[in-house]
Amino acid sequence: MEAHRQRGHRVRFDWGPTGAAAVAADVAVVVDVLSFTTTVTIAAERGIAVRPSPWRPAEDAGHRGRGLAPSAMAERAHVEELVVPSPNGSALAFGLAETGARVVAGCLRNRTAVAAWLDASATVAVVAAGERWPDGSLRPCAEDLWGAGAVLALLPEADLSPEARVAAAAFRAAPLPSGLHEVAGALELHAIGYGADVTLAAELDAASVVPELRGGVFRT
């Protein structure tokens, strides 16, 4: 396991809960582009705090419309705090917080704000949430690779682990914003009528907020 910790580098990158545990650092950036961290970021833009909750098997498109969908969050008004269910991003964020790390939500919308917020003296773990196959195993996905790479591409290359450099290079080569609509996760959202979520998620640097998990709630 030691070989996978990327300890020789200040800025690290890996996937999912197991990868997060391996590259634990002072600060962790959770990336779940479609759609948890995009939703959290849009909420923060609107002054709304987000309390993540576990995703239950009964969750469906209707539940998504009330919480997880960025497009639904963009329409919220006069709300101070919302509970948002998430199958990947929330569990990852809580797991990282238990390591003692400061945890923030990163995505394509706020990648420059997140990169600027990071302390240049702290160790940093950028963790892509990924999706899940039907058997529960991790499915690395292009959107989270691009989202993580979007933050990493703004950090000093000398600080990046080889894994982090690969993610940064993937972002630089990404056909954004149009390409985000073509990934598997986006096609699933289009199929159930949530194509607007993909459009919002693809808006690079649309937000200047950095939501941080404090006391179980994401706040700016």
Task: List pLDDT tens digits, range 188-199.
Answer: 999 999 999 999
- Tell me if 159 sits within 8 A of 185, measured CB to CB: no
The more confidently predicted of residues 57 and 99 is 99
Its pTM stands at: 0.93
Give the span between the Cα atoms of 7 and 101, in whole angstroms.
Answer: 15
What is the predicted pLDDT for the residue at 59? Answer: 47
- pLDDT (average), residues 139-163: 98
Give the span between the Cα atoms of 208 and 101, in whole angstroms.
Answer: 22
What is the predicted pLDDT for the residue at 62? Answer: 43
| pLDDT surpasses 50 at 160 | yes
What is the predicted pLDDT for the residue at 55? Answer: 63
Task: Please give the sequence-ordered ranges of beta strands (E in DSSP) within 66-161, or none if there are none.
Answer: 81-86, 102-106, 124-128, 131-132, 138-139
- Tell me if 126 sits within 8 A of 152, measured CB to CB: yes
- Domains of the chain are 2-219 (3.90.1560.10)
The more confidently predicted of residues 72 and 194 is 194
What is the predicted pLDDT for the residue at 63? Answer: 45
